[in-house]
Amino acid sequence: MPSQTPLWQNGWYSQAQRHDSPNFGPRPEGASIDLLVVHSISLPPGQYGGHEVQALFTNQLDWDAHPYFEQIRGLEVSSHFYIRRDGSLVQFVSCDDRAWHAGRSEYRGRSNCNDDSVGIELEGLEGERFEPAQYQRLARLCQDLALCYPIAHLAGHEHIAPGRKQDPGPGFDWSLLKSLTDFSDKCFPLV
Ligand SMILES: [Zn+2]
């Protein structure tokens, strides 16, 4: 029998390129990781294809490289995953650990969503559309996460931090994501 790489190893996904971020910590004891949070990001906003997002999440962004970066200077954040416009996938933090993507947040009656969620950033601009390749990759990732974690909710950053965050916004097609996965209607935000 040929040896096969396991899909998941210690919270790392074999289908992603790994770029370790220092921005993470332990999850609380007994955390039930049942929430996927979808975000959008691009740096500078609306510019695609560069390495600035990976640089931000690994504390290597040159804050002086663009005027916009002044607004986020010193920010230490991360997500578990980042899906590029072409569908390629990067992982920064083990899903067994707590990434820093949600901030002040509340969902399904629990606050501090970083404690028990997986954060997935899509390369994009909030309110704008996303690429078919990104939905395909996201859907597969959601399905594969559900093999390993008791995923029961998928939501946008806008749903867990309403009024404070707007991503991924109205350009994100929740019904398309639903159609590409096995999750039931009640797993999704009311849109
Ligand atoms: Zn976000």
Inter-residue contact 90 to 51 (CB < 8 Å): no
- Cα of 144 vs centre of ligand 1, distance in Å, is 22
Q: Render the burial of 8-42: b for 16+ CB within 10 Å, e for the rest.
A: beebbbeebeebebebbeebeeeeebbbbbbbbbb
pLDDT tens over the chain, length 191 residues: 667 889 999 999 999 999 999 999 999 999 999 999 999 999 999 999 999 999 999 999 999 999 999 999 999 999 999 999 999 999 999 999 999 999 999 999 999 999 999 999 999 999 999 999 999 999 999 999 999 999 999 999 999 999 999 999 999 999 999 999 999 999 999 75
Q: What is the pTM of this model?
A: 0.97
Q: For residue 49, with 0-12 CB atoms within 10 Å meaning exposed, 13-18 middle and 19 or more buried, which class applies?
A: exposed
- pLDDT value of position 11: 98
- Cα of 130 vs centre of ligand 1, distance in Å, is 15
Distance CA 73, CA 62 (A): 9
Structure tokens at 89: 């996938």
- For residue 92, the enclosing domain spans 20-182
Inter-residue contact 145 to 151 (CB < 8 Å): yes
CATH of residue 112? 3.40.80.10
Residue recorded with tokens 């994100």: 172
121 is catalytic: yes
2 in a domain, yes or no? no
Tally of domains within the chain: 1
- Cα of 165 vs centre of ligand 1, distance in Å, is 7
- Cα of 167 vs centre of ligand 1, distance in Å, is 5
11 in a domain, yes or no? no
- pLDDT value of position 190: 76
Choose the catalytic residue: 29, 52, 106, 121.
Answer: 121
Q: What is the largest CA-CA distance in the chain?
A: 55
13 in a domain, yes or no? no
Distance CA 5, CA 75 (A): 35
